[in-house]
Structure 1
Amino acid sequence: MSTPFSEDAFLSAIAAADLAPVKHLSLPDGKIVRYRVEGDKAGSRNGWAVLNRSPILNGAFGSWRTGEQHTWKADSKETMTPGERAELHRKIQAPEQARAAEEARVRADAAARAVKLWSGAKPATNDHPYLRAKGVYAFGLRSLRDQLMIPARDVDGKLHTLQFIGPDGTKRFMTGGRIAGCYYAIGRPDDALLLAEGYATAATLHQVTGRAVAVCFNCGNLAAVAKALRGKFPRLRLLICADNDATTPGNPGLAAARAAAQAVGGRVAVPVFAGVSHE
C-alpha cells in the first residue's frame, strides 16, 4: 500500500513539469482526474493525472492544453515476480488509453457546445471596438453579447471550438476544445493561400492582397495547420506570414513560421520594422 509520502513524490513530479494543480489533488486508485493547472484560466481543467497503487506506485499526467504527457514510477527496492512486472507494464500503459478516451470525450463535448453557441449567435458588425481599433472587417464572424466569435474548424469543415475576443482585445478559447490543426478561413484560395497567427493580421492581409488567408490563432499552431492544408491542397502555394516578435528572445513568431514553411515546402513573409532586426 502506498504512503502519503510516496504520493507526494508523484505530486512533486507533476509540479516539476510545471503542471502543478491549483488545489490539492485527490487521486483515486487507477482513475483519471482532471484539474486546473497553476497559471491556466479560472474554470479550466486542462491538467490530468492518474495514479496506480500496485504492484508499485506508478502513474501518468499531462496537459490537454499543451498536449504534453509524462509517465512516472516510484523508486522501489522490492523484488517483483514476472507476473508483477507484467502487471506494472500494463498499468503504465493503461493511462494513455484512459487519457485518450477522456480527451475524446472532452473534445466532443466542447465541439457540441461550440456548434450550439455558433448556431445561435448573430452576425458581427464592423463597428465592434476591437475591429475598429485594428482597422479590419468582420469577415463572417459572429458575436455573443460584446464578444466576437471566431470558429476553429478542421480541413473537413468540422467546428471544434471558438475563440472569443472582447472589446479590449482580450482573447480566450472554449475550455476543452481542439485547436491543433484547426483554423478560420477568410476568402477562397486560388493559386496561393496565406497563413497568419491572429485574426486581425489575417484580415489585414486579406483586405490588402485579396488573397485567401487561414487564421491559425497562435504560432504553435502554424505547422499543424500548414500540414493539414498541404494535405488538402497539395499543389497550392503556401505563404506563412510571420509575426515578427523581434523584441522577444528567440523571435518565436518567426521561428515557428520558418518551421511551418519548411515542413510543407512553403515560403515565409516577414514584416520589417524600421530599426528592428527580424533575426
Structure 2
Amino acid sequence: MRPFRAREGETIYVFPDGKGGIAWNWRLGGAQAIWFIDADKKLSDSEMKKLRRQADLVMKEAEEQRQRRHTEVACFAESLLADAVSAVSVGHGYLKLKRVRPVAGLWVMDAAEIQARFNAFFRDEPRTLWDSRAGRPMADPVLMVPLYIGKNFSSVSSIEFISECGGKYTLPEARAAGACWVPEALRKGAPLPERIGVAEGLATALSVSQVKGFPVAAARSCGNLKAAAQALKLQFFGVRLIVLGDKGNGEEKAREVAQYARTAVAVPSFSDQQRARFRQITGSNSAPTDFNDYYIATGKL
C-alpha cells in the first residue's frame, strides 16, 4: 500500500485493489475518512464484513508506516541539531525582535544549509523551508527550536524553524502531538521549581521566564496546548502548572486546557494606554495579544 501526500499534513492511502482508501490528516489526529468505490451499492453482510476487515488492515498498516516515518524524521532532526550553532553564541534576529535573551537549547543554522539538507532527506517529495510571514522561502540564519517527547523530554521529535521576521515552519512528517520545547534545566534534571508554565509560542515562554523567573515550555500552538500540558503534568508530577494563554483566539483554548488539566491559567489584559504604547514601541499595527507583547508594552522587556 503506497501513501500519496495530498496537501501539507494530509496523506491518502489507496487499497491494493484500488477500490477504496483512507484519507488521513495528521494535524487533526489521524484517519478522517474511509471510502469504497462501491459504497453506494447494496452489499451483503459478508461483503460489508470483508470491507471492514480490509479497512482495519489498511489502517493498521498506515499507522505502522506513520510510526516508522516519525522515527526517520526524528533522526533527521537530531542530525540537523547536531550541526547547528547555539543561539547563546551567535544570537538571532527573532529573539532581538521579541526583546528576549537567547538561552541554552535553541540553535541556529543558515537557511541555505537547512534547505540543502531538506533536499537530500525529502528527495522523493521535495519540501521548501517556507517563511509563513514573508511569503517566500526562508533566508539568512534560522532559529531552530527542538520539540521534545518522551520521559524527561529526552527525545527530539521535531523542529520548529523561525525566520528573523518571525515566520514559522515545522519539520514535515514529524510527530507533533504533545511535542514541545522544554527549557534545558528541566530536561536535564535540575531541582524542580514550585511552578512551571506552558505557553503557545517560544517568545511568550522566554518572556515569562525572563521576567518572572520560572521555567516555561512552549507548545508551539494552541491546538497542542492540551497534549503538552498533559505531558508536563505527567513528567513533573506535583509541580504547579500554569497555562499561559494568548488574548483573542487562544484564550478560550487556554482556559479549556486549564480546566481539563486542573491547572491555573493566565491571560494578559491590555489597557488602551498599553495597546498604544505597544504600537509605538514596535511600530506594529497589530493589537498586542500575548505576554511578550504585554511585557514590551509595560516596559519590562
Q: Structure 2 length as normaliser, TM-score?
A: 0.71
Q: CA deviation at 1:127?
A: 3.9
1:147 is matched with which residue: 138, 142, 167?
142
Report the number of matched residues.
Answer: 233
Does the C-alpha gap of structure 1 residues 116 and 76 become closer, same or farther in structure 2, counting only changes over 3 Å?
same
1:95 is matched with which residue: 58, 62, 75?
58
Q: CA deviation at 1:59?
A: 2.3
User: 1:168-221 CA deviation, whole Å, 9 max, x = no partner?
Assistant: 111111111112111112254411111101111110001001101111111011
User: 1:91-114 CA deviation, whole Å, 9 max, x = no partner?
Assistant: 121221122011112211110000
Corresponding residue number in structure 2 for 1:35: 5
Corresponding residue number in structure 2 for 1:62: 24
Corresponding residue number in structure 2 for 1:262: 259
User: 1:55-101 CA deviation, whole Å, 9 max, x = no partner?
Assistant: x943211122332422223434354373x333212112122112201
C-alpha contact (below 8 Å) 2:4/2:13 kept by paired residues:
no
C-alpha contact (below 8 Å) 1:155/1:229 kept by paired residues:
no
| Higher normalized helix content (fraction of residues) | 2
CA distance in 2, matches of 1:137, 1:61: 43
Corresponding residue number in structure 2 for 1:175: 172
Q: Give the residue type in structure 2 aligned to 1:154.
A: I
Report the 3-state secondary structure (helix = DSSP H, G, I; strand = E; otherwise coil) of the residue aligned with 2:49: helix
Report the 3-state secondary structure (helix = DSSP H, G, I; strand = E; otherwise coil) of the residue aligned with 1:238: strand
Report the 3-state secondary structure (helix = DSSP H, G, I; strand = E; otherwise coil) of the residue aligned with 2:62: helix
Give runs of aligned pairs for residues 47-196 of structure 1, distance below 5 A. 47-52=10-15, 57-69=19-31, 70-73=33-36, 74-80=38-44, 82=46, 84-125=47-88, 127-140=91-104, 141-145=106-110, 146-156=141-151, 157-186=154-183, 187-188=185-186, 189-196=192-199
C-alpha contact (below 8 Å) 1:48/1:62 kept by paired residues:
yes
Q: Give the residue type in structure 1 aligned to 2:196.
A: L
C-alpha contact (below 8 Å) 1:226/1:264 kept by paired residues:
yes
Q: Give the residue type in structure 2 aligned to 1:174.
A: L
C-alpha contact (below 8 Å) 1:197/1:242 kept by paired residues:
yes
2:231 is matched with which residue: 228, 233, 241?
228
More off after superposition, 186-195 vs 254-263: 186-195
More off after superposition, 197-206 vs 71-80: 71-80
Q: Give the residue type in structure 2 aligned to 1:185.
A: V
Report the 3-state secondary structure (helix = DSSP H, G, I; strand = E; otherwise coil) of the residue aligned with 2:225: helix
Does the C-alpha gap of structure 1 residues 135 and 81 become closer, same or farther in structure 2, counting only changes over 3 Å?
closer
RMSD (CA atoms): 2.3
CA distance in 1, matches of 2:14, 2:156: 34
CA distance in 1, matches of 2:108, 2:162: 9
Which 4+ runs in 1 deviate beyond 6 A? Answer: none
C-alpha contact (below 8 Å) 2:15/2:58 kept by paired residues:
no
Does the C-alpha gap of structure 1 residues 149 and 86 become closer, same or farther in structure 2, counting only changes over 3 Å?
same
| Identical-pair percentage | 28
CA distance in 2, matches of 1:124, 1:264: 33
Q: Give the residue type in structure 2 aligned to 1:33.
A: P
C-alpha contact (below 8 Å) 1:227/1:263 kept by paired residues:
no
Report the 3-state secondary structure (helix = DSSP H, G, I; strand = E; otherwise coil) of the residue aligned with 1:72: strand
Q: Give the residue type in structure 2 aligned to 1:204.
A: S
Q: Give the residue type in structure 2 aligned to 1:205.
A: V
User: 1:241-279 CA deviation, whole Å, 9 max, x = no partner?
Assistant: 10112xxxxx3x011111211122101101001259x9x
C-alpha contact (below 8 Å) 1:222/1:260 kept by paired residues:
yes
